[in-house]
Amino acid sequence: MIINCNNLTKSFGDKELFHNISFTIDNREKVALVGNNGVGKTTLLKMIIGEEAYDEGNIYISGDSRLGYLSQHSMIDSDKTIYEEAYNTKKHLVDMEENLHNMEKQMSILSGEELEKLIVDYNSYNEKYIEKGGLTYKKEIISVLTGLGLLDDKERLVNTLSGGQKTRLSLALILLDSPDLLILDEPTNHLDITSVQWLEDYLRTYDKAILVVSHDRYFLDKIATKVIGIENKAAITYNGNYTDYAKKNKDRYEALLKAYQKNQDEIKHQTEVITKLKQFNREKSIKRAESRQKLLDKMERIDKPVIQDTNMNIFLDYDTESGKDVLDIEHVSMAYDTKEIISDINFSIKKGEHIALIGDNGTGKSTILKLIMNYISPKKGTITIGANVKIAYYDQEQLNISSSRTLIDEIATEYPDMTNTEIRNMLAAFSFTGDDVFKSCNSLSGGEKGRMSLAKLMLCKANFIILDEPTNHLDNYSKEILENALNDYDGTLLFVSHDRYFINSCAHRIIELKDKKLNTYIGNYDYYLEKKKDEITATQTENAPSQGKVDYKKQREEQNRLNKLRNRFKVVEEEINQLEEKNKELEELMNTDEVSRNQSKLLKLHEEIQNNNLKLEELMNEWEELGNHI
């Protein structure tokens, strides 16, 4: 067991977040902490790492277990480069390397008993070095930086990075530090889909414990083996991933509701019997009524289970029918200064289509949305909006929510025909409940402004909705409501999102932006993944016919070149593994009684290990270079 939280209670002022919650995390367990916005997930993480006090209970952390924590807004500040910071996480191994080199120098000048003693010490120390990852840490650094999209910028100074890059670097450093309990608060923020998929693979094979908070349901399904749900001030533990949790939690609620209804029926029945007995107005019947009343008073009253209404409906509607052709983009190119973002792209959107635009960070997805909105102009090409098209646009970076009005007044002013109940239901769908509706718009945080902006967008009766990362500030409850609303929407939808669960639910067509070009897949995200596995190219899709003739000869040549690089990459990786394995065998041989007493054999084996290390250094450099080109 790594950690045991026992009977924790926590309040902020009059608001109680938790009451007597308990749970444990064992070695190698991968635990997801889930719950709606505001239930206290981040607070609980901070309590575990000691940044936040708790009112009652205790937290036991096993022995000398090391905890590593990534907050939602980790902002590393450093005048070092990315690679230097990553390298510094392995300083203990670098120091051990230096000690080994010093011991090797001593071995070359000592003899006799002094040499024999040093060799024994060297072998023991070297064994510890290998156990701690001394032979593989450089490869691990390259692998993590590559997976999180930081390798190309490894020589950049940390203090020149964007906020998103700093968050990714903070994640990389925590992974490289390899704590006994890895605590991650929304680790997929600022990651593109490719990096999220890499992180999933990394965490699945992480050989220590993980506690993660995330609203990415696809991500939780991939990594979680246990889920702790925070609701109604309590913590309930379920074995399995997020999908298992959602089903079991629903079953649990239905069982609690059934027990509550049965309890209510029994109370009602006993009350009716008591009333009837009293009406007889006989001594015997009155005594029986009193006896039953005593039993009724002692009967356990089951509280009605509280759960958010996931069946709450938001109806998206429009007041004008658009033409069949909603959007047409022809031969559009866009560059910022001299950097070309998109090149000669073509696609069209028909009435009623629901399309997800996906791609890695920096490929130009948001740029395409801004081009459609005419916020920026293309360098080349034309963008045509169809007849009677009315657009509603959600941009996470430009949220015009700055009024001094309260949330409820903001909507009531713009939509005077709505009742207070209708307005409250709309706001509740985006996690504004109770007194939240009386907050002023200009007092909202960035995330709250995002949710308020979405709530207003749902009411604007547009026939073409464009969304840029709409789920970033939503909990799973609000996501499900938004998904249901969009799935029932008969208008046209175009959205950018890295939330694969959301994409899978809402998209009927996937447009992938890669290498400045568009590839189209007719289907949801699961279909897209299936086709990617089959390596279907953009030329085989039916919705991008005007991308130009493909030069098949050049394509084959490029494919052959990449295949050669990939083959060499595999060969080099295998050679690295073989040399590392060989060094382990040599180290074990040096520790045998026969060899450890033979100075000449020891020196010969030591020399062989040194030569192998030189080869490893060369191979690692080649492996890194190849990785940059495939």
Count CA within 13 A, CB hemisphere, residue 67.
21
Residue 404: count of CB within 10 angstroms of its CB: 10
In contact, 329 and 348? CB cutoff 8 Å = yes
Kind of pairing between the strands at 325-336 and 234-239: unpaired
For the cut 60, the answer to whether the pLDDT of residue 136 exceeds it is yes
Is pLDDT of 545 > 60? no
Amino acid at 573: E
- Cα 503 from Cα 356, distance rounded (Å): 6
Mean pLDDT of 267-276: 92
SS3 181: strand
- Does 411 have pLDDT greater than 70? yes
- Among 191-200, 259-268, 450-459, the range scoring the smallest mean pLDDT is 450-459
Residue 541's pLDDT band, with cuts at 50, 70 and 90, is very low
| Mean pLDDT, residues 424-438 | 88
The per-residue pLDDT for range 192-230, each reduced to its tens digit, is 898 999 999 999 999 999 999 998 999 999 999 999 999
Residue with structure tokens 């939808």?
Answer: 493
Can you give the pLDDT at residue 550? Answer: 47
Looking at the chain, the whole-number percentage of residues with pLDDT higher than 90 is 53
pLDDT above 90 (res 267) = yes
pLDDT band at 536 (very low <50, low <70, confident <90, very high): very low
CA 252, CA 398: separation in Å to the nearest integer?
41
- 107 in Cβ contact with 114 (< 8 Å): no
Beta bridge partner(s), residue 21: 8
Instruction: List the beta bridge partners of residue 329.
Output: 347, 383
User: HEC profile for 482-543?
Assistant: HHHHHHCCCCEEEEECCCHHHHHHHCCEEEEEECCEEEEECCCHHHHHHHHHCCCCHHHCCC
- 56-74 pLDDT, tens digit per residue, is 999 999 988 999 999 987 7
- Cβ contact 115:194 at 8 Å: no
Among 155, 1, 34, 187, smallest CA distance to 84 is for 155
First to last CA, the chain: 42
Residues in CB range of 383: below 8 A, 6 or more apart: 327, 328, 329, 330, 332, 371, 372, 374
CB atoms within 10 A of CB 209: 23
Cα(198)–Cα(195) distance, rounded to whole angstroms? 5
pLDDT at 543 over 50: no
Give yes or no for a contact between 532 and 543, defined as CB atoms under 8 angstroms apart: no
Residue 628, pLDDT score:
67
- Answer whether residue 7 shows pLDDT above 70: yes
> Taking Cα atoms as reference points, which of 353, 402, 398, 400 lies closest to residue 375?
398
* Paired sense of beta strands 354-358 and 339-350, if any: unpaired
pLDDT tens column, 479-506: 888 999 999 999 999 999 999 999 999 9
Q: Are 36 and 128 in contact (CB under 8 A)?
A: no
pLDDT reading at 465 higher than 90 = yes
In CATH terms, the superfamily for domain 325-540 is P-loop containing nucleotide triphosphate hydrolases (3.40.50.300)
Report pTM.
Answer: 0.75
CA separation for the pair 102, 118 (Å, rounded)? 11
For residues 530 and 524, give the distance between their C-alpha atoms in angstroms, rounded to a whole number.
Answer: 10
Within 8 A by CB and 6+ apart from 495, the residues are 355, 356, 357, 465, 466, 467, 468, 470, 506, 507
Res 555: pLDDT: 61
Question: Which residues have a Cβ under 8 Å from the Cβ of 629 and sit 6 or more positions away?
Answer: 565
Region of 322 please: left (phi>0), alpha (psi -120 to 50) or beta: beta
Q: Residue 119 corresponds to which tokens in the numbers above?
A: 């060799």
Sorted by where each begins, the domain ranges of the chain are 247-298, 325-540, 552-627
> What are residue 39's DSSP bridge partners?
none
Q: Which tops the pLDDT comparison, 368 or 476? A: 368
**617 burial via Cβ count (<10 Å: 0-12, 13-18, 19+):** exposed
What whole-number distance in Å separates Cα of residue 534 and Cα of residue 545? 20
Q: Name which residue leads in pLDDT, 232 or 306.
A: 232
pLDDT of 540: 44
Distance between CA atoms of residues 493 and 354, nearest Å: 5
